[in-house]
Structure 1
Amino acid sequence: MYQNKSTQSILFIVFICLIPSVFVAQQLDPTLKELINKGLEKSHTVNIQNFNTEQSQIDQKLAKAVFLPKLTFNANFTRLNDDLTFDDDTQNLLLSTQKLLIKEAVGIPFNSPFPENIPLTEVPNLQNKNILKSSVDLDWVLFSGFEATNAIKASKHLEASLNYLGVAEKDKIALKIIETYDKLALVYASKRVLNTSKKYLDEQKYYIKKALKNGLATPISRKKIELAQQQLASKELEFNHNKILLIEVLHQLTSESRENLRLLNPILHSFSTDSISSTEKRNEIKALEEAEKATLYKAKMEKSNFIPKLALKGHYEFIEDDLSLLTPKWYVAVGIKWNVFDGRQSWLKSEKSKIESQKYREQIEDANEMISLSIIKAELAYESSLQNIKINQKEIELASDTYDMINKQFKNDLASISDVLDALNNLEKANFKLQESYYSQRRAATDLLHAKGILNY
């Protein structure tokens, strides 16, 4: 009666393994989704990509800022070695002119001597030696020859490229977390198989003890059971090591506490075959295409160096006392700058950017070829994994029936304990192989989703 209950337990466990929950490709385990989100928040690489994107946005603002007026306030004090004055002949000429004007004003004849009681105004200096200035300058680019406009467009495409690279990096992080999570599920599956095997061995050990008392078994049979138990203990130690290592990897990837990770109980399921159909352009390809466009606009920007540029300049002096006789208080000017020949530097830089865009085009072609190959490879692996699942399910059925048959023969002294242990080992392997098949199928499915650009998380 005890043996019949044990056999029923075996068949129940096998039955559970044969009916996995269908795991729709994009409907991840909520716990796994949460781990992925934490991993994306923690990832240093993703954060660096975000910083690169922010820098690109600032580059756009810098390019737009070219068209904003720039105001500069200036203040300085200068002391010359001496005042700047007119030469003696010029000063005498100015004084003589002043005398003539005074004579004419007071009605003194032209040839009459100048009265001594009338003071003359001294000739002012051209520039006093102590100079205090305070002013404001205005510089305003009205037309940049499309240089700033092309720079803005190049920065926008660069930002888009960096955004796509960031999403591609997130895909890699998500794939790594999913793979580690599934490995942990596979390790727990091995633990369930070990627990079942331990139960079977304990049962056989109990039976051997009774058989030895009745002279129906030999001490060799007991030693074989003990050896099998030692081998099982070794596998349990391996399980513990694998569990510790995978929890540590998940902790590093997500920063989730080890205590919470130890409470996880992931279970392997099969992916649905209906959700892997469409194909979208990969983020890596989009990033390369945007980078190609950015370099083309960069080439245009460098060629724009030869287009005339228009700017407005203004100047205003706040302090008039120390201005020279020739210095204006304020002025406004509009000017054109036309770079006619710069030693071919702009043309060479433009050609270099064009070559850079051609390099991106080659990378795009190469990436498309590699992606096409990876899709075919993932599809083949996916089909093989589905077939392996069916085979493993049949192997479990056969191993379970074989174990039942040999165990009954052993009870009737028609088989040895070695035959029973071999049958038990085969059943253990068959159960674990099914879990490995689920793991392989999930790996192939996620690789296929990623290759087709439809991996969502």
Structure 2
Amino acid sequence: MQIPVFSLSFRSILAVTTVNSARVQRNLNAKKNLKAGKLRSFARSLIYINLAMLSAHSWSAESLQQAWDVALQRDHTLAASQYRQQSAQHQVNAAQANYFPKVALETGYLRTEYEPAAKLNIPALPFLKGVALPFAQDSAYCGGVTVSAPIFTSGKISSGVAAAKAMADATEAHANLTRSELKLAIAQSYIAVLRAEHAVMVTTSYISAVQRHETDVQELFEHGYAAKHDLLATQVTLANARQLGLQASNALELARAAYNRWMGRPYEQVVQLQDIVNPTAIDDKSNLGVLLTSANEQRQELQELSKQSEAYKSQAASVRAGHLPQIGISGGYSKLENKYLAEDKGWWVGVVMKWDLFDGGLIRQQASALAANAQAVSEMEQDTRERIALQVRQSWLSHQEANARMQLVNKAVEQADESLALARERYRSGLAPNSEVLDAETSRLQAYSNRDNAIYDRELSRLQLQHAAGSL
């Protein structure tokens, strides 16, 4: 990409030098020739310095991919999404753990005020009436190991696992969405720095050109060839140009600070970024229909909402299964310290069925609430799908506009340079007013600004279109 400060400085200096040489021959030969030599020397110095800076810049410049690699590794929002993704996977593992047997170890100590005993009352043995017969000790230890496992849960466990997996997929989609949005935001900040750098170069060139013109008008005024009005108008234009320079420099500092925040660097650090020399359009996916299909298949928002709806439906099915029979098996080994028992320890096994026949509508209402949430998410998914279709169309149209602008701006820059050169020559020859030169300077400034904006708008629209299609 042509850098304004190089081309403008070189072209303007040569133009000023050529015209000054003609005017020297008419007015002040010795003095003007000396100034022309200084201008040529200044032009050569600017070219050498700029070329050296450009070479150093290209060696150490940071690419957009490098910016993504650094910024995504340290971004806290993305890290939080990744931790949520880990949490969702743990939830899946927890739901699957319900399939496995549970082993429990139980132990305890019991102390009673009196030794438990039963009173005997046998009519055939009246002499035993009122006699107490102990059947347990007043203090005893007990313990055992219990193993329990589900046999049939009417789909409660399987539905719970399906719900956890769907929620984990939704969390993964959200993490991918966060990554894509961050890449677009980082790219916008990256391009903002490049745009601001070129704005500074354009305004610097504009200030330099107006300063040279102000010097020429000042000399013409001193020798009676220019009116006071021309000098004042040029000085006002120069003051305005310097204000534009200050604004451009401040905008550059702000853009660098925003970019450095992504990179975790000091805000005031000067960044060296690779410029966009030849931005390319999206040729393989320029068809709008292909882009819409890609968005429907790859946009992470749609996948997240779809999986959330699926998770709610599975949770509702798991809750409804609570109304159906739940069958499990349990067994173990236990010991109860009791000297009155013939055997105080042993193995045991059993089958347990639980069937909640009536709970006041609790399970039914809970399942209905989850089903309503699933339907609400489905409606949100449909609305998001429509908004994404609009976003893809808008991004596609913006990219088409940016491509069309690129075909015009370079020609406009050439015409603005030529118009300025002609305006200066006409003014020095007394054929045009000073305002024509100032207008030409402003037009050239606008032409270079439009060219840079077209280049960066095109690159930004390309990235936005990739994001809209779900491929960023």
**Same topology, TM > 0.5:** yes
| Partner SS, residue 178 of structure 1 | helix
* 2:389 counterpart of 1:389: no
The structure with the larger Rg is 1
2:315 equivalent in structure 1: 298
Instruction: Map 1:49-448 to 2 at 5 A.
Output: 49-89=81-121, 125-258=134-267, 261-264=270-273, 266-267=275-276, 270-277=279-286, 278-279=290-291, 280=294, 281=297, 282-318=299-335, 320-321=337-338, 329-448=346-465
Cα distance change, pair 377–322 in 1 and its aligned pair in 2 (3 A):
farther
| Range 437-446 or range 234-243, more displaced | 437-446
After superposition, the Cα gap between the structure-2 partners of 1:330 and 1:261, relative to the gap in structure 1 and judged at 3 Å, is: farther
Q: Per-residue CA shift, 1:376-398, capped at 9, x if unaligned?
A: 22222222222233333332232
Matches of 2:168 and 2:81, distance apart in 1: 10
The one of 22, 31, 35 equivalent to 2:63 is 31
- Give the Cα–Cα distance (whole angstroms) in 1 for the partners of residues 219 and 210 of structure 2: 14
Give the TM-score, by structure 2 length. 0.78
Give the whole-Å Cα distance in 2 for the aligned partners of 1:34 and 1:395: 34
Give the drift of 1:37.
2.8
Q: Secondary structure at the match of 1:134?
A: strand
Q: Give 1:261 shift.
A: 4.8
Deviations 1:342-364 (A, max 9, x none): 33332332233222222222222
Change over 3 Å in CA distance of 1:170–1:195 after alignment to 2: same
Contact 1:165–1:287 (CA<8 Å) still a contact in 2?
A: yes
Give a deviation string over 1:20-62, Cα, whole Å, max 9, x none: xxxxxxxxx9622222233323333322222222222111111
Counterpart-to-counterpart distance in 1, 2:422 and 2:399: 35
Matched AA of 2:393: I
Against the structure 1 CA distance between its residues 211 and 271, is the aligned structure 2 distance closer, same or farther, given a 3 Å change threshold?
same
What's the CA shift string for 1:268-296, capped at 9, x where partnerless? 75342414334312111111111122222
Does the 8 A contact of 2:120 with 2:132 survive in 1? Answer: no
Change (3 A) 1:399 1:333: same
Q: Which residue of 2 aligns with 1:100?
A: none
In the alignment, the residues of structure 2 paired with residue 351 and residue 261 of structure 1 have an alpha-carbon distance, to the nearest angstrom, of 58
> d(CA) in 1 for partners of 2:166 and 2:459?
36
Q: Aligned partners of 2:308, 2:211: CA distance in 1, in Å?
A: 65
Contact kept? 1:82, 1:129, Cα under 8 Å: yes
| Paired letter, 2:376 | K
43-52 or 188-197: bigger deviation? 43-52
Instruction: Give 1:245 deviation, angstroms.
Output: 1.6
Q: CA deviation at 1:265?
A: 5.7
Corresponding letter in the other structure for 1:207: D
Within 2, Cα distance between the matches of 1:298 and 1:439?
Answer: 48
Q: Which protein, 1 or 2, shows the higher relative CO under an 8 Å CA cutoff with sep ≥ 6? A: 1
- CA distance in 2: counterparts of 1:6 and 1:158, whole angstroms: 72
Q: 1:344 to 1:430 in 2, by over 3 A?
A: same
1:43 corresponds to which of 72, 75, 79 = 75
What's the Cα RMSD here?
Answer: 3.2
By how many angstroms is 1:211 displaced? 2.9
Contact preservation (8 Å) 2:141, 2:337: no
224-233 or 183-192, which moves further after superposition? 224-233
- SS at 2:377 equivalent: helix
The residue that corresponds to 2:9 in the other structure is: none
2:152 and 2:237 mapped to 1: Cα distance? Answer: 86
Deviates more, 1:167-176 or 1:203-212: 203-212
Once the two structures are superposed, residues 206-230 of structure 1 have per-residue CA deviations (whole angstroms, 9 ceiling, x without a partner) of: 4334434543234444433333332
Q: Is the 8 A contact 1:56 1:159 kept in 2?
A: yes
For 1:30 and 1:341, the matched residues in 2 are separated by 68
Distance across 1 between alignment mates of 2:127 and 2:432: 141
The letter of the residue matching 2:369 is K
Residue identity opposite 2:285 in structure 1:
I
1-structure distance, mates of 2:342, 2:14:
120
Contact kept, 8 Å, 1:133 with 1:322, in 2: the verdict is no
TM-score (norm 1): 0.80
What is the aligned partner in structure 1 of residue 33 from structure 2?
Answer: none
Contact 1:313 1:334 in 2 (8 A): yes
Report the Cα distance in structure 1 between the residues aligned to 2:274 and 2:248, rounded to whole angstroms. 14
Cα distance in 1 for residues equivalent to 2:411 and 2:96: 68
Retained in 1: the 8 A contact 2:92–2:168?
A: no
Output the amino acid matched with 2:101.
P
| CA–CA distance in structure 2, aligned partners of residues 73 and 265 of structure 1 | 66
Separation in 1 of the partners of 2:143 and 2:79? 47
- Once the two structures are TM-superposed, the CA of residue 163 in structure 1 deviates from its matched residue by 0.8
The residue type equivalent to 1:435 in the other structure is: D
- Whether contact under 8 Å (1:208, 1:217) holds in the other structure is yes
Letter in 2 for 1:443: L
Verify the 8 A CA contact 1:46 1:166 in the aligned structure 2: yes
Q: Is the 8 A contact 2:257 2:268 kept in 1?
A: no
- How many Å separate the matches in 1 of 2:380 and 2:342? 66
Aligned length: 412
The one-letter amino acid paired with 1:38 is: V
Contact conserved, 1:181 with 1:266, CA < 8 A, in 2? Answer: no
Q: Is the 8 A contact 2:253 2:268 kept in 1?
A: no
Structure 1 Cα separation of the partners of residues 361 and 193 of structure 2: 62
